[in-house]
Amino acid sequence: MDTASNGNVFDRIRDKGTIFSEEKMKSCFQAFDKDRDGGLNASEFGSMIRLLFCNENGKPYAVSAQRVGEMFAVFDSNQDGIVDLEEFRNCWTQWIRQVNFRNLRHFFSF
């Protein structure tokens, strides 16, 4: 799935701004798993983070590589260098769904 040329991945996984389903969570995971190895490496995870951290106008905030690495370490709970589907599920339920929707509204079409 090409997030650069076809809009944002969150356009394709939205759920009317309410609770994201398991299916949508898996779609998001697969969209960022560019090498299709079943896990998000630090680079893939960083791409996702940079899409999430934007202001209400859709302008990305600067997120340093160090900050992305710190977030990656939080969700890579087994510290194997990959955020697997189960770890991503925790990221999804504990964090992604909780991100202020107002700041993501430009990613979603209603």
pLDDT digits (tens, 9 = 90+) for 18-42: 456 788 889 889 999 999 999 999 9
Q: What pLDDT, on a 0 to 100 scale, did the predictor assign at position 9?
A: 55
- Residue 74 CB: number of other CB atoms within 10 A? 14
Alpha-carbon span 92 to 49, nearest angstrom: 12
For residue 73, the SS3 value is helix
Mean pLDDT, rounded, of the chain: 76
Pull the structure tokens for residue 84.
Answer: 């697997």
The stretch 57-72 carries a mean pLDDT of 88
Please state whether the predicted TM-score (pTM) of the whole model is above 0.95.
no
| Rounded distance between C-alpha atoms, residue 21 and residue 34, angstroms | 21
Which among 2, 110, 6, 97 is positioned nearest to 52, based on CA atoms?
97
Determine the average pLDDT of the residues in 65-90. Answer: 94
